[in-house]
Amino acid sequence: MLVLKCAACRRKLLKYYKIGQGEVHRCHKERIKKIWNLEERDGKIFCSCGKSFGIDRGSYYTMDKKAFTYSGTKTNS
């Protein structure tokens, strides 16, 4: 389970169940377990500070890897 935080203001954005050891390029919506500070506007997702960190692609979000940080553990299976 990973906790994603905004790189600009360090607010918690969401809790995400990550499968595999790779980078977080996509966040599948069905694996998001909790949302703290997330706003959707015009097909993008924003932190409440106003910084954009992803694009809504339907069933998942394409993430901007420089716009967020994360902590936690990834599942190998």
DSSP 40-57: EETTEEE-TTS-EEEEE-
pTM for the model stands at 0.90
**Residue 32: burial class (beta carbons within 10 Å; 0-12, 13-18, 19+):** middle
CA angle 16, 19, 24 (to 5 degrees): 60
Average pLDDT over residues 9-15: 95
CA 19/CA 22 separation, integer angstroms: 9
Banded pLDDT at 76 (limits 50, 70, 90): confident
Q: Which residue has the tokens 């994603």?
A: 4
Per-residue pLDDT tens digits for 16-46: 999 998 999 999 999 999 999 899 999 999 9
Q: How confident is the model at residue 77 (pLDDT cuts 50, 70, 90)?
A: low
